[in-house]
Amino acid sequence: MEAPNAGNFLCICHFGGEVVTLIDSLNYKGGQAVGVSITKDTTFAEFIQIFCAQAMMHSTELSFMYTTKYLPTQLLPLNTDCGMRDLVSFNDNYAYVYVHGERVQNIMPTHISEQMSRCEMDSIASVSTPSEHLFEHLTNGVPTSTIGYMSRCVVNQSGPLESTVWGNALHSTGQTFAIAEEFRKILYKFSLAHNFRYKWKRNAPNALSTYCAVEGCPWQIKARAIRSTPIVRVTTFNNVHSHTAHDLITMALMSKAKGIAAILKDKLRQDPDLTPPKIRSEVKRKYGMNVSYKQAWRAKEKTKMNFCGDVSHTYKLLPWLCNSLKDSNPGTIAEWTCDADLNFKQLFIAYGCSVNEFLLGCRPIIAVNSSFLSAPYRGALYSATAFNADDEMYPLAFGILSYENYEDWLWFLQHLKGLIGSLKVTIISDRHNALLESVGEVFGIQNHSHCFTHLKENFGK
């Protein structure tokens, strides 16, 4: 693959300053910049010669890093002719190059310097996306001024990614973990800190083995349970990576809902209402990782489950809930049923205060309706609404039932009839087939009216 204009390619070379980290990019603070015009056939030696001539520097012990348009937050080593070809291939018309040497401050991030031993550089982190109007001063690919770009090299206050604190989470053989799940969480955080992906060779409670996802990379780690205990101990740890520039460009961080939940549990504990879009932004800003909306939502749900327990277990609280409502609010009707396997089936609740007010001052008209629930456990929400003397809606009763059918409507209406006693009322419904039969059976067909809005909509169809 060639750059669109491979015969006229510009390298903007920065030296004498430092790379600073922005929220999702890098920028350059201080120093100087020169433009080096090359072609796709320019060798690394020729590039060094041109740069040194323009920057008036010696080529002794200079190291070069560059960024690509595909991964603008990653510094890649430039030290071979193959690297020069990658520099041109993975950028369009221009690229940023950062120079390090005796006269230049260090720019290499820690996790790259550990992997590239020939580039003895200090750490800082990630690179900035160029502005569209950067080349307003270019004529035929040659810059006439770099003042505009230099003025945009501002000081950044955000600091490095928070995942860097996990850089030494795994450090040697013999390291122990209370359970296998703790080892998995630490391994995930370690991969974020060092920007690599891994695959499982074996993933069991008593034996775990994983290796780097890059083909040919020697990195691996193994752990086994100590005798019959759940304690896991690292038995093998080869913490050496072998990645090419192409590997670093194409490799994306592992974004797993379970791992995201682990790293955001404190944040979600402080702010339980954090929305998935905000979670995505938070993960990108703090850990440099792109996650989908679905992954963010699943991470939040997993965290809620860890804090509050499995939602399905709350159904076991229904007997206690119904008894508590009756005790705290006299006159309350709270009934529930289950099937032969003790699975939830039906729930009816009418608060005592609502029943008393209905009998004392509301019109003898009750509108019944239902709506399907889209939560994981489905079902339908039933409601009975009365009208007061001002024709305002007055909530009377509600229920949660498994389906919207004749049997469920009959059960709901029988409990509704029980709370109003002998009072004659008119029932308004939407002419659902199940209601046509069940309302007539409980309240009498002469007391059943139909909602005009629903009739109009049905005729319109």
CATH number of 9-150: 3.10.20.90
10-residue mean pLDDT series, the chain (461 residues): 56 85 71 86 88 79 84 84 88 86 46 38 35 36 33 39 81 90 89 87 92 91 92 93 77 73 79 86 81 85 78 84 92 90 89 91 89 82 90 91 88 91 87 84 83 69 60
Handedness of CA 256, 257, 261, 267 (dihedral sign): positive
- The topology (CATH level 3) of 315-460 is Nucleotidyltransferase; domain 5 (3.30.420)
DSSP lists the bridge partners of residue 372 as 380
What is the reported pLDDT for 228? 86
User: Could you tell me if 124 and 22 are in contact, meaning their C-beta atoms sit under 8 angstroms apart?
Assistant: no
What is the reported pLDDT for 399? 93
Distance between CA atoms of residues 349 and 396, nearest Å = 9
What is the reported pLDDT for 25? 67
Q: Helix or strand or coil: residue 240?
A: coil
Residues counted in the chain: 461
What is the reported pLDDT for 458? 65
What is the reported pLDDT for 236? 94
103: nearest Cα among 28, 35, 32, 44 = 32
Dihedral through CA 286, CA 292, CA 295, CA 299, nearest 10? 30
User: Could you tell me if 78 and 44 are in contact, meaning their C-beta atoms sit under 8 angstroms apart?
Assistant: yes
Strands 448-450 and 426-429: parallel
Q: How far is CA 112 from CA 55, 67, 107, 117, 120, in A?
A: 26, 13, 11, 9, 10
User: Could you tell me if 188 and 259 are in contact, meaning their C-beta atoms sit under 8 angstroms apart?
Assistant: yes
Distance between CA atoms of residues 139 and 144, nearest Å = 7
pTM for this prediction: 0.48
Cα 207–chain centre separation: 29
What is the reported pLDDT for 211? 93
Retrieve residue 270's tokens.
């402080």
Q: What DSSP state is assigned to residue 163?
A: G
Neighbours of 226 (CB within 10 A): 11
DSSP of 315-335: GGGHHHHHHHHHHHSTT-EEE
Spatial neighbors of 331 by CB under 8 A, at least 6 apart, are 352, 353, 355, 356
Q: Helix or strand or coil: residue 457?
A: helix
What is the reported pLDDT for 454? 67
Question: How do the domains of the chain map onto residue ranges?
Answer: 9-150, 161-254, 255-308, 315-460
Q: Report the chain's terminal Cα–Cα distance, integer Å.
A: 57
Distance between CA atoms of residues 99 and 119, nearest Å = 11
Angle at 382 between CA 380 and CA 387, to 5 degrees: 155
Distance between CA atoms of residues 168 and 296, nearest Å = 26
- Strands of the 198-204 sheet, one edge to the other: 176-177, 232-238, 220-225, 207-212, 198-204
What is the reported pLDDT for 237? 94
